[in-house]
């Protein structure tokens, strides 16, 4: 990332994008304070400009662990180093330049491994930044890669092979970070984002029929919102499929199918994720024993809590607490 600056015009689009990234500040992936009790990642947006770009440096000791989900849409692009990215039950092995269209409502996270050291560009925006009820109907085309039923295939675009997409991202980055704040910068960011989204729509060959999938996905999310809100407040309490179905106003079979489609996991797995996320918070912020924390977040068996925690965070609760405290001292 410390390569000398060269004239962008003399470089291939991917190399020009790397050259632009070399001038930008990448920061440790520290989002713990932005996660709520349900693992929901809340990013503050200006309502008139619901768009952001984050430049993250991921390393074994430099990133927030645990899965997240969010309503906003997201593109994830490693620009240096190998990155393993898990969404729902799928794992993607990304190399530099692999642009991933994130399934935002599915629990997702970068996966730790020996030698993990990566930098990535994360482009985030609310859907209404691009398409809303008042927009021309063709504008939904820009969002089809996020909602298309065909998206069950891997939605990874190698920017090293698609120069138009690489150039659109380069111009987007430079507009966001090197242009003065103001109306022209905001207009430019939207224009270059639309260029990038158009390239994605072209490359993934999504059908216009996917517009209905877009609308269905929005409807599913709205129906599950009361459930997500309930779990956020009452994650330590028992919750049966029948109770969850009632919150979403669905039959149990319909609920289980819809929940898996939206979140990419089962209700039990989601509850465990929320409880473990809160367990990690209590390990960082309190002096409660592991047994007390396990009970407080809804696990009646500490050994089961230990087992699930190690699987999720790559270390035991005690080791996690020790690492957290050593970093803050």
Q: Which domains does the chain have, with CATH numbers?
A: 8-208 (2.60.120.280), 209-329 (1.10.10.60)
Strands 117-125 and 51-59: antiparallel
Q: Provide the pLDDT for residue 93.
A: 95
> What's the burial of 300, exposed, middle or buried (CB within 10 Å: 0-12/13-18/19+)?
exposed
Does the model's pTM come out above 0.75? no
Would you say residue 96 has pLDDT above 60? yes
3-state secondary structure of 57: strand
Cα separation, 239 vs 230, whole angstroms: 10
Q: For the beta carbon of residue 134, count every other beta carbon within 10 angstroms.
A: 7
Cα separation, 263 vs 77, whole angstroms: 22
The rounded percent of the chain whose pLDDT value lies above 70 is 83
Kindly indicate the confidence band of residue 60, based on its pLDDT and cuts at 50, 70 and 90: confident
Look at 208-222, 272-286, 289-303 and tell me which has the smallest mean pLDDT.
208-222
DSSP string, 108-166: EEEE--TT-EEEEEEEEE-GGGT--TTS-GGGGGGGHHHH-GGGGS--EEETTT-HHHH
Question: Taking the chain, what is the end-to-end CA distance rounded to the nearest angstrom?
Answer: 30
Q: Provide the pLDDT for residue 266.
A: 86
Would you say residue 4 has pLDDT above 70? no
Look at 79-93, 145-159, 281-295 and tell me which has the smallest mean pLDDT.
145-159
Cα separation, 24 vs 22, whole angstroms: 6
């Amino acid at each position: 990332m410390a390569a000398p600056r060269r004239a962008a015009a003399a470089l291939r689009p991917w190399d020009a994008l790397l050259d632009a990234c070399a001038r930008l500040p990448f920061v440790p992936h520290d989002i713990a304070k932005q996660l709520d009790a349900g693992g929901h990642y809340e990013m503050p947006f200006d309502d008139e400009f619901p768009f952001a770009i984050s430049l993250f440096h991921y390393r074994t000791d430099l990133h927030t662990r645990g899965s997240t989900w969010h309503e906003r849409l997201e593109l994830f692009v490693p620009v240096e180093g190998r990155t393993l990215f898990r969404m729902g039950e799928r794992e993607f092995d990304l190399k530099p330049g692999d642009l991933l269209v994130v399934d935002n409502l599915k629990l997702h996270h970068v996966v730790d491994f020996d030698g993990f050291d990566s930098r990535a560009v994360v482009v985030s925006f609310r859907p209404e930044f691009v398409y809303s009820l008042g927009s021309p109907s063709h504008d939904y085309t820009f969002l089809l890669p996020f909602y298309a039923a065909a998206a069950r295939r891997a939605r990874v675009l190698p920017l090293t092979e698609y120069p138009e997409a690489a150039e659109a991202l380069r111009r987007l980055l430079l507009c966001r970070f090197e242009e003065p704040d103001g109306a022209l910068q905001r207009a430019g960011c939207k224009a270059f984002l639309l260029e990038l989204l158009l390239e994605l729509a072209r490359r993934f060959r999504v059908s216009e029929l996917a517009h209905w999938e877009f609308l269905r996905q929005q409807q599913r999310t709205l129906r599950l919102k009361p459930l997500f809100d309930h779990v956020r407040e009452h994650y330590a309490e028992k919750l049966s499929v029948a109770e969850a179905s009632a919150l979403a106003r669905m039959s149990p079979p319909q609920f289980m199918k819809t929940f898996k489609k939206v979140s990419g996991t089962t209700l039990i797995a989601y509850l465990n994720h929320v409880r473990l996320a809160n367990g990690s918070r209590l390990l960082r912020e309190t002096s409660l024993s592991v047994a007390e924390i396990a009970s407080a977040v809804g696990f009646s068996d500490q050994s089961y809590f230990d087992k699930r925690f190690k699987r999720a965070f790559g270390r035991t609760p005690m080791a996690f607490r020790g690492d957290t405290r050593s970093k803050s001292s």
